[in-house]
Structure 1
Amino acid sequence: MFLVDRGNLGDQTLKEFQQYASPYNNFKFTEEYFVRRLTSNTLDKTARVCICTIQRMYAKLKNRELPEDLDEVSPDKLIHPSPNGRGAGGEGNLFAKPELIEYNPQIPIETFDIIVTDECHRSTYNLWAQVLEYFDAYLIGLTATPSKQTFGFFNQNLVMEYNHEMAVADGVNVNYDVYRIRTQITETGSKVESGYSVQIMARDTRKKRWEQLDDDFSHDPNQLDRDVVAPDQIRKIIQTYRDKLFTEIFPGRSWVPKTLIFAKDDAHAENIVEIVREEFGKDNDFAQKITYRSYGSMTCAPICILPSKQTR
Structure 2
Amino acid sequence: MIPLWIGIVALLLLSMWLLWLPLRRAAGVRDAMMTFEADDRNNAENVAIYRQRLAALEAALAEGEIDRERFAEDRLELDRRLLEDAGSAGRRPLCRVQAGRWLLPIVAVLVIVGTLVFYDQTGGRRDLALYQVIQSLTHAPPETRLAGLEAEARRQADNPKAWAELFPLYRDSGRFDKAIGTLERLIELQGRQPSLLAQLAQMKFFAAHRTLTDEVQALVDETLKLDPRQPTVLGMLGIDAFDHARYQQAIDYWRRAMAGYQDAQSGQALRKVIAVAQQRLAATRETTGSTSTSR
TM-score, normalization by structure 1? 0.22
Instruction: Return the structure number with greater helix share.
Output: 2
Instruction: Return the structure number with greater strand share.
Output: 1
TM-score, normalization by structure 2? 0.23
